[in-house]
Each structure stands twice: as C-alpha cells, then as structure tokens.
Amino acid sequence: MKVFDAKHIKNIVLLGAAKSGKTTLAETMLFEAGLIKRRGTVEGKNTISDYHEIEHQRGNSVYATALHTEWRDYKINIIDTPGLDDFVGEIISSVRVADTCVLLINAQHGIEVGTELIWNYADRYQKPVILAINQLDHAKSNFDQTLESMKQRFGSAATLMQYPVDQGENFSSIIDLLKMTMYKFPPEGGKPEKLPIPDDQKERAEELHNELVEKAAENDESLMELYFEKGSLDEDEMRQGLKIGMMNHQVFPIFCLSAKKNMGSGRMMGFIDNVAPSSIEMNPEPSDNGEVMPNQADDGTVLFVFKTLVEPNLGKMSFFKVISGSVELSKDLINHQTGQTERLNQLFIMDGKNRNPVQKLMVGDIGATLKLKATETNHTLRDKSIKHAVKPIQFPGPRIRTAIVPENKQDDEKLSEALKKIHQEDPTVEIEYSRELKQLILSCQGELHLAMVKWALKNTYFLDVDFVTPRIPYRETIQKASDASYRHKKQSGGAGQFGEVYLKIEPYQEGMAEPSGFNIRKKEETELPWGGKLVFYNCIVGGVIDIRFLPSIRKGILEKMEEGPLTGSYVRDIRVMVYDGKMHAVDSNDISFKIAGMMAFKQAFTSADPQLLEPIYDIEVVVPEELMGEVMTDLQSRRTIIQGMEVRGAYQVIKAKTPLAELDRYTTTLRSITQGRANFSTMFSGYSTVPYEIQQKLMSNYHRQVEEVHS
C-alpha cells in the first residue's frame, strides 16, 4: 500500500447527533474514491463502519470506527463516531487524534440536542471544524432554517461555502461559492456536471461570494492588504485565508450534502485535501510535562495509543496516531508509562473490521497493531531519544453508578476479567470493588451505557449479571467527649487473659489544641485509608500498663473503627487518650489489651453523641436558560445546596452540592426533564452531617439487618 507523506495525510472525525448520517457519509466517501464497489446501508447492516453485532441490533453507531480513503493523491483517515452522549469516550478520543472535525447537521432538524452535547466536547480541543448540512434530499429538509440555527449557535464563524438550488426530494444542484460554479448531480448521484450559475441565482451567489472573500481576507493581514489592493482574492488566496481561519477557530466552512444519494461528498473531500490542515501544520501535541512533542518526519518516533479494541478471536488491537517520525514493521519502541519495550510485529490501516497490512506509516498517519504486551489507551510508545510522553486524554467522570453481581456466584472471577477488558476498550467504564460496601461498583455515563456493558457481558463473555442499587459509603464520628473503661478477663485453664483499659475520646479537628489534664508520653497520628484521622495518645502514668501493650490497644481501636456501631460504616476524625488501666503479671498479653481497647472504644463511642456523615458531591449542571427552573426545582428536592450560577456560551451553569444518596439515576431524570438538552458532571467534595430523621432510619435498617443475620 502506498506510503503518504505528512502533507498528504488528512485526519477527520465525523461528529453529529444520532441519525445525522455520519456512517452513511463515511460509506459514500469510500465509494466515491473507488475503495469499495458497492455502498452498504445502515438499514442493510452492511456498512464498513458499523460492523459490530450490537450496532446492527441498534441501528446506530456504538463504537468509533477507523477508516480511510484516497482522493486525488491525498489520504483521508476517517473516524466515524457514535452520536449518543453515553459513548462520549469514543467521541473524545477520536477528536483528540483528528486534525479536522466534520460536524454533520440534519437538514430536517438543524442544531439538535445531540449536536449541542457533542459540540461541547469537540470545542474543548479547538480543532478546525467543517459544518456539513446533510439530508438535503429529505422531503422535510429546510436549508434556510438549518442555516439560521447554525448562525445562532456558531455565530459569524459559520461560513457559507455552498447553498442548494433546490432541496427536498428534487435536490440535485449546489452552487459553490468558492469556485463560483453550479454542480448538478445525476439522479443516482456521483460525479456532477459543472455548469455556469443560472441567471436567477447570480445576484445571490455574487453577494455570498463577496462575503466569503471578506471572511477569507480578514484572517491574515497580508491577505487583507491584498484584498484592499485588488478588491478581491483568487481561489488559492481564499484557500489560504480559509485555512488560517479554520486553524484559529474563526471559520467553520458550511457544505451541502446528500450522503445517501452521494451528492456533494466529492467536493467536500476536495476541500479537505486542499484546505483542511495536516498534522504537521497543527500545533504540536502537548507533553505530560507541559512542553510540546516533536511532530516532524525527521524527529524520533512517537506513537500515541488513543483506542483499544479487544476482539475475542484476535486479542487486543491498539489504535495509534504517529505523532512524530515514522514507524516501520518490527520496530521496537519503549512504552513510556511502563518502561517495557514493545515490538510492532504487525502494522495495519483499518477499514472497519478489515485490516490492510502496511510496512510503514509516516508522521500524522493513523494505524493499528495487534497484541502489544503492556500497552493501553493513553500510553505513549517512543524512541529512546524521546524523553517525554504525549499528554493523556482526559475522559469525563462517570454520571451513573450501580452495583453488579453475577447470577452465578461462581462467575466472580470471570466477571472481573470481562469488566477489565471492557474498561480497556472504554476508559469511561470504571470498575471498583468496594471493600467497605462489599459490592462491585460499575460506573458509566448513562442508562444506555450501562445497558451496553450488560449486553457485552452476556453476548461476548457469556455472563448473566444483575444490577442492584449501590450502597452509600457513610462515615461515623462523634460530637462530644466521652470516657469509658473495659476489663477483659478470661480464664479457661492454664494461662488466662487479662487487660483493663481506661480511655477518653473526643471529636478531632485539624489544628485543635492538645488535650489538657493528661500526661502525654507519646502521640501517633494515623491517616485513615477511608479519610479522616485517628490521633492516639499514650497518657499512661506509673507503668500501670506496660508500654508494649499500647500498640495492641491502638490496633483494637482501629479494628473497631472499620465497623462503626451506628450503621457498620467506617469511623473517622477521633482522638483517643489512654490514661489508665491494669495488667496481670501472667495473664496479660496483646490479645487481652486489643479486646479491652476495642470494647472501651465502643462504649465511649456510643456515649459521645455519635453522628452519621454522608458523602457530598460538587455538581455542575449545564442547561439551556429556558429549562433552568425545572432543573433547579428537581435539584432542591434532592437536598441540594445551590452554590451559584454562571453563563457559559448559550448555556447556564448551575453549581451546587448534593448528597451522593440523592444522585442515584440523576442522569436519567435530568435527561427526561430537559429532553436530553442538559449535561452534568460531579466531583467528590467531602462529608457532611446526615439529617436526624434520615440517620434514625438508616440506623434502624442496619440494626434490623444485623438481627436478621444473627437470628
């Protein structure tokens, strides 16, 4: 297969709401270039892009799929992405390695909810954007209304390159404002006839052409001077200005398409070839230390792995972009994250599930390889001469969590292995076994995302699972000081057990004064694995307890802190002063003082006005202004404290603090009350007091469960 140099490689990602036609456009681009002889359809379940069984069942994309086409001596790498926000991990990783985003807009609906959500992710990376109005052949298409919605959303950056002469079922002609030509397509689509602009369209075309010239000129001072001097720009000068504008996010060219009928895709592909920037024209990738990575052909080799696919029969496939240098078959590279050396025994260009073997890939190209030993998504493979790694992709945190249990208890190990592979493919699927909750917690982006994990477990790994409500990781602490003592005495023939401990406990706060009235001999601070502290004081006077038994007392207290008396939750933020006790010359030992310390602590704790704490999360909801009232009402019903609001583009941002217990399935509710037009993110903030009524209910439930276990 031909090796393309960096200037002739263009990487695009197809973005858009569900049913905007991304997969159909990808199929048409491959067909138009002659790389496939027959176009498949989504309905026919035979497209190159959507080849997974679940995509055939659902009728839309679930995975980002890499493809390529060749057009007039250029190679265009295409990544077809899902149109649903639940699969944002696939979208973000694809945008990261693309050089140009092609955002498809459905001509029937204009800017949709899905368009808005996906745009918000794409906009973070400030990549050049082409706006493609698709489905102009649909009976309900409305070009003018769609264009207006784009102008409202993207402002003056939305730059008209073409407009349709007709639309709807008779759509067949496009007027191109760069070339000032009318393209008329045959009924079956394909290669258009180039015709002069009709007389009844000349005035409009000239006016829009002049606007385009001005838009191209305003992005570069030398072009602006040339424009003032000549009164116009030629086609090459306009291309130069449009490229600069695209790279500065000041120009979003608008093209007209019917991907289904193969009308307009060839012209857009030509524009991608001639105007869209290549990787080496873009800003270099940032490194993990804040500098930039090399990005030229004569630099050392750097590959960035942006996607992993685990195929049951093939093993692990790693998709990468060549960030700098070149990569050849059998090349050895260092994995920066693990330090291991990986040999690339196979190199492919991927077209869906079809692997095209290659010997070499140049900087800017996108490829894949099989069976790397220790390389995952976000890893950098590099030459020895390169000292840094590519800055990793920041995936969004989960928005929904559930506990997952296998229907067959003997499948625990199989389930863990399967979930590990699913996480390798999609880092936005997070898995954690909570020792505290005694549950395996699965966290995802939404209900559909959870459903896809369940489908994969059943159909790929042959595991049946149930989702159950996850428990809440409460914490227990105290609100006042309390004294207690406990004598542990046991005699059962031979040596017995004896230990007596007197202690005082108090609530602990950072920076508080040392306890008064005690002869402090030693202070030990323990950062608890579950948060908070235990501060332990040895205040023993006169040797009533041998110093060697103090660690056992502390150990007993720590063990009891792992299962608090209120709800069995972890205990935090307490200081303990051990100030008296007794021991026996023969019967005292470590176990005696461990038990005595544990029981004395338990007695003191229950008398110290114990308090239950719950995890609180910072929540940020991005919502259209007209829907704020409904969202605020729902949040306040969830014991939310509103922290503030701000404007972000066309949206309002609500910042608040909400208990984790109230966030269960919040993503589903938010999607319902806003028709999918809002989004949110969360981050752990800290612990706060549980309201008295809720604490009493939780305590009652816990003690009833304990009684049932022991009955």
CB 371 within 8 A of CB 315: yes
Residues 130 and 276 in one domain: yes
User: Which of 423, 446, 468 is the endpoint of a domain?
Assistant: 468
Residues 440 and 541 in one domain: no
Residues 90 and 126 in one domain: yes
User: Which of 558, 577, 608 is the endpoint of a domain?
Assistant: 608
Q: How far apart are CA 209 and CA 188, in angstroms?
A: 29
Q: What's the pLDDT score for residue 383?
A: 95
Question: What CATH number is given to the structural domain containing 368?
Answer: 2.40.30.10
Residue 80: which of 357, 95, 181 has the closest Cα?
95
Q: What's the pLDDT score for residue 124?
A: 87
> Is residue 700 included in any domain, yes or no?
no
Residues 619 and 604 in one domain: no
Is the whole-model pTM more than 0.85? yes
Residues 548 and 636 in one domain: no
> Is residue 338 included in any domain, yes or no?
yes
Paired sense of beta strands 570-571 and 475-478, if any: parallel
> Is residue 705 included in any domain, yes or no?
no
> Is residue 388 included in any domain, yes or no?
no
List residues bridging with 10 in a β-sheet: 76
Residues 552 and 669 in one domain: no
Residues 21 and 144 in one domain: yes
Per DSSP (E only), the strands in 383-438 are 400-406, 430-434
Residues 604 and 641 in one domain: no
Q: How far apart are CA 89 and CA 426, in angstroms?
A: 6
Q: What's the pLDDT score for residue 636?
A: 94
Q: Into how many domains does the chain fold?
A: 5
Q: CB count, 10 Å around CB of 367?
A: 24
What are the CA-CA distances from residue 14 to residues 77, 116, 544, 703 (Å)?
A: 11, 15, 76, 55
Q: What's the pLDDT score for residue 591?
A: 95
By residue range, what is the domain housing residue 547? 476-608
Q: What's the pLDDT score for residue 495?
A: 75
Cβ neighbours of residue 577 under 8 Å, at least 6 residues apart?
A: 503, 504, 505, 506, 515, 518, 520, 537, 539
Residues 409 and 426 in one domain: yes
What b-and-e string marks burial along 245-267, b requiring 16 or more CB atoms within 10 Å of the CB?
A: bbbeebbbbbbbbbbbbbbbbbb
Question: What CATH number is given to the structural domain containing 28?
Answer: 3.40.50.300
> Is residue 627 included in any domain, yes or no?
yes
Residues 334 and 451 in one domain: no
Residues 404 and 448 in one domain: yes
Residues 251 and 358 in one domain: no
Q: Which residue numbers in the chain have pLDDT < 50? A: none
> Is residue 710 included in any domain, yes or no?
no
